[in-house]
Structure 1
């Protein structure tokens, strides 16, 4: 699969499903625009009202790791987390939840005569509309997780030093469910030199362990055959 083949196939699938998704919101139409010129190309979902564009959800594509992802903010743990998508249904569910959350806030602002013009907001993606999404069921706290490994820290340089990543990994066990939990935190910089931290969790059942190991071994074997190790 070429670097952007999945991005292109998913774009076509999303566009085909948008009319059905929009039909759930009688007076509003969800629209989509893409930007393939970014380092991580993006799907941007927006609504237009009185010739004003309101962007409420952004999903990005990592061509190196072949990941489609977005972010949400967990109020309870005050944590920004990265959400990974593996299929169309996960994306449409995420967009639906984001739009419901946005419309709730949007209607409230209209009632108060304080609607925002998202075209004029430089930091729209940091606003509550796009971050506070009721999406993740993973509950993480020091009380219910037993960390069973030492912290692993990795420094990665890509493109001859243009991009630097500091990665922090550790593995734990959910005391309540006995599920495994992989913690991954990535610290990097944006084009303005500001630090960005992305934190994600992978929760898995004991029965999945052998399959995960097989997948990881397949990845290592593949990049070894391609001469990338």
Structure 2
């Protein structure tokens, strides 16, 4: 059993999709869940209310080392799998699913080109001083090197934590962004973003400190 093929596809998929589809580049997102029995890559867009609307899910069978998608036949009441042999097949399936989904209704999705004080989510900008109540934000131009990677999901608490890594173009510093999404009892989505900026000189020290104290860190599932 190996995840080498899963990791290779995950690393290349986002860049390939952005390069062949301008529309996906503007509003398409992907998240990675390696903790499941069959790891998966999910693709989604966000509505004006910041709800996630998923349009495609890729599953990976680590025992057979292959990607597949699932479809449900209402007439036969059966779930079927379509095996995707190579990355070209995978890209085609996601690309086609995206356009099929967007053709249904494009009015609910927002493409953000520049900052608007009424927008909660901005894909390509990082804003400092999140606790400031005015609109006087300092913006940094960030090139995101990875998609959002799912670090933790708690279905019972309706909590999802994701991370992504980028590079600040002006300074060359690294930025690690943590995004918390919580679904309330009223079905409202609360989203918090936390950003940690560090230089290349600091990175190895940070990694070493975390690795040396992993046994001291408690899991989010730990009961106190």
TM-score above 0.5, yes or no: no
Which TM-score band (shorter chain)? 0.3 to 0.5
TM-score w.r.t. the length of structure 2 is 0.42
Structure 1 or 2: larger helix share?
A: 1
